[in-house]
């Protein structure tokens, strides 16, 4: 699988990285919809959340816990975490990613 995110992970495309460890990478979204709009991606290639298996639960848990650390590092206490699962849900890059969004009033319901 080759997506823009796999190319960012490989260092082929530059990104404004705000966090990285052996499991995941977080960088600022180039089409930000809020003062904080960061994409958190696993280094393991997963198409979307539905592609995850039981063996991915530690990775997913790790990523969810990292959202707070990332938001804190950007100076935001309140934030939303969103993932789109499939084209019908507006997923445009088919590599699992979480949007960490904050810094403005976020309406409910989204969409």
Is 21 a member of any domain? yes
Segment holding 102, helix H or strand E: strand 98-102
- Predicted TM-score (pTM) of this structure: 0.95
Report the chain's terminal Cα–Cα distance, integer Å.
28
Is 76 a member of any domain? yes
Residue among 37, 95, 97, 99 flagged as catalytic: 97
Number of H helices and number of E strands within the chain?
2, 5
- Is position 62 annotated as part of the catalytic site? no
CA 81 vs CA 7, 13, 37, 46, 66: distances in Å: 23, 24, 10, 18, 11
CA distance 74 to 97: 18
**Structurally, how many domains does the chain consist of?**
1
Is 94 a member of any domain? yes
From first to last of its 111 residues, the chain has per-residue pLDDT tens of 689 999 999 999 999 999 999 999 999 999 999 999 999 999 999 999 999 999 999 999 999 999 999 999 999 999 999 999 999 999 999 999 999 999 999 998 876
Is 43 a member of any domain? yes
């Amino acid at each position: 699988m080759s997506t823009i995110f796999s190319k960012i992970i490989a260092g082929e495309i530059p990104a404004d990285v705000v966090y990285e460890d052996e499991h995941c990478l977080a960088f600022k979204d180039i089409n930000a919809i809020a003062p904080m709009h960061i994409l958190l991606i696993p280094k393991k290639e997963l198409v979307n959340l539905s592609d995850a298996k039981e063996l991915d639960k530690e990775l997913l848990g790790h990523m969810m816990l990292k959202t707070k650390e990332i938001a804190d590092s950007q100076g935001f206490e309140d934030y939303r975490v969103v993932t789109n699962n499939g084209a019908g849900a507006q997923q445009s890059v088919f590599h699992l990613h979480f949007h960490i969004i904050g810094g403005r009033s976020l309406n409910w319901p989204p969409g």
